[in-house]
Amino acid sequence: MNQTIKDLETRRSIRKFKDKQLTDDDLNTIIKAGEYAPSGRGLQSAKILIIQDQEIIKRFSQWNKLYFPEELAKKMGDADPFFGAPTILLVLADSTVNTYIEDGSLVLGNILNAAHVIGAGGCWIHRAREEIDSPQGQELLKLLGIDPKYKGIGHVAIGYPADDINPEAAPRKEDYLVYVDKID
Ligand SMILES: Cc1cc2nc3c(=O)[nH]c(=O)nc-3n(C[C@H](O)[C@H](O)[C@H](O)COP(=O)(O)O)c2cc1C
């Protein structure tokens, strides 16, 4: 099978990481894949925030937890929503562009796939919208000099996968595909 197709099929969400930071080369490769995602009208409406300072990651982790839905809060207990990942990539996108959610999501997809291809791995972590919409999030944008029109799309918790995990894909649902070849 073509290697790219194989990589797309074998990428899994990684939720346990080695205690090792990404090399700069690997980080740059992954970010570049994100930057080269397609975007509506080619407007590149997304931004990628790169967070590797462990204290800042801890603050984000506490913050992210605030927005757990009740069910998830029960299930996760004290667990870190970022699963101890050494790097967090937070994707924002310019909400004045009509395709901003799709643009940001494709950036996240490229990041997840690129990480897998080079032997790293990651997991989309949600609730970026709630974080950025909050007063604290607005303050953060101000500190970073980012216009408040940017909304949170998602994070990737990213690092090198721990050795003792082997996540498997769920079977694909029966009615995934609908061939539209004849409409009476
Ligand atoms: C929009 C979106 C939000 C997600 N949010 C979370 C999350 O907050 N925490 C988490 O552990 N996984 C999250 N995931 C990962 C999914 O649970 C995962 O992709 C799914 O179970 C399929 O597994 P796979 O990625 O290994 O194929 C999210 C995925 C997507 C696409």
- Closest residue by Cα to atom 14, ligand 1, is 124
In a domain, 172, yes or no: no
Total number of domains constituting the chain: 1
pLDDT above 90 for 106: yes
**Section 27-44 average pLDDT:** 98
In a domain, 139, yes or no: yes
In a domain, 117, yes or no: yes
- Closest residue by Cα to atom 31, ligand 1, is 124
In a domain, 173, yes or no: no
pLDDT above 90 for 23: yes
> 50 is in which domain, residue-wise?
3-159
**Section 60-81 average pLDDT:** 94
In a domain, 183, yes or no: no
In this predicted model, what pLDDT tens digit does every residue of 4-19 receive, in sequence order? 999 999 999 999 999 9
C-beta pairs of 30-36 under 8 Å, 24+ apart in sequence: 30/89, 30/111, 30/114, 30/115, 30/118, 30/120, 30/158, 31/89, 31/111, 32/114, 33/110, 33/111, 33/113, 33/114, 34/89, 34/91, 34/107, 34/108, 34/110, 34/111, 34/114, 35/107, 36/110
Atom of ligand 1 nearest to the CA of 81: 9
pLDDT value at residue 184: 81
pLDDT value at residue 81: 97
In this predicted model, what pLDDT tens digit does every residue of 122-160 receive, in sequence order? 999 999 999 999 999 999 999 999 999 999 999 999 999
Cα(123) to centroid(ligand 1), Å: 6
Residue with the bigger pLDDT between 184 and 65: it is 65
Whether residue 117 has its Cβ less than 6 Å from ligand 1: no
CATH of the domain at 155: 3.40.109.10
Cα(113) to centroid(ligand 1), Å: 13
Q: What is the mean pLDDT of the chain?
A: 97
pLDDT value at residue 183: 84
